[in-house]
C-alpha cells in the first residue's frame, strides 16, 4: 500500500469514527469506512488515479470524497477532518443553542470564519452576512435578541 493511500485511509477511518461519535448520518459514516477500505485494497497510488481523473472509479469514491482526496494530494490535509478533530471551546459550542444556529453552522463560524466571541458573532449578524450561510434558520433580529439575552445572563468578562 502506498503512503498516500495509507494516509488517506487513516484519515477517512478517523473521520468515520468521529462522525459516528457525533451520531452523524450512518450512511455518511459508512461511506467514509467503505472509501478507507477501498484505498487500503488499491494497488495503484491514488495520485496516479487523480492525474487520470479516475478517482470516482474507485469503489465507494464519489464526487465529495474525490474532492477530499484531491484536497489531500494538494495540501497534505483534509480541512473537514481538521474541523472534526478540533473540539470547540465550551462557550462557542453553546452557541448552537442560539436560535437558528446548528452545531455545523457554529463549527463553520469558528473553524473557517474565525468567529470566536459574541462580539464577532454579533458583528457578523449585523452585517447581514450570516443569513447567507446554509443552515442558518433564524432571522437577524431573533439572533441579535438572543445574543443580547445571553450577555445579560452571563456577561463575557473578556469584553470591556
Per-residue pLDDT of the chain (160 residues; tens, 9 = 90+): 899 999 999 999 989 888 876 778 899 999 999 999 999 999 999 999 999 999 999 999 999 999 999 999 999 999 999 888 777 888 998 998 999 887 778 878 887 788 999 999 999 999 999 988 877 888 999 999 999 999 998 755 544 4
**Rounded CA gap, 83 and 154, in Å?**
27
**Where along the chain do its domains lie?**
3-77, 90-153
Query: 3-77, what's its fold?
Result: DNA polymerase; domain 1 (1.10.150)
For residue 10, the model assigns a pLDDT of 94
CA dihedral over 25, 28, 32, 35, signed as positive or negative: positive
DSSP string, 98-159: STT--HHHHHHHHHTT---SHHHHHHHHHTT-GGGSTT--S-HHHHHHHHHHHHHHS--TT-
Amino acid at each position: 500500500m502506498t503512503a498516500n493511500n495509507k494516509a488517506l485511509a487513516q484519515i477517512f477511518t478517523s473521520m468515520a469514527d468521529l462522525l459516528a461519535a457525533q451520531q452523524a448520518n450512518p450512511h455518511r459514516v459508512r461511506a467514509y469506512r467503505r472509501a478507507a477500505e477501498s484505498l487500503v485494497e488499491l494497488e495503484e497510488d491514488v495520485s496516479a488515479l487523480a492525474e487520470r481523473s479516475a478517482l470516482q472509479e474507485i469503489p465507494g469514491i464519489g464526487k465529495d470524497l474525490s474532492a477530499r482526496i484531491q484536497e489531500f494530494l494538494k495540501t497534505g490535509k483534509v480541512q473537514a477532518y481538521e474541523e472534526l478533530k478540533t473540539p470547540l471551546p465550551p462557550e462557542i459550542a453553546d452557541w448552537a443553542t442560539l436560535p437558528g444556529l446548528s452545531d455545523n453552522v457554529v463549527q463553520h463560524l469558528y473553524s473557517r470564519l474565525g468567529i470566536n466571541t459574541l462580539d464577532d458573532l454579533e458583528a457578523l449578524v449585523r452585517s447581514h452576512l450570516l443569513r447567507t450561510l446554509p443552515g442558518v434558520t433564524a432571522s437577524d433580529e431573533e439572533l441579535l435578541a438572543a445574543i443580547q439575552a445571553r450577555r445579560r445572563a452571563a456577561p463575557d468578562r473578556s469584553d470591556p
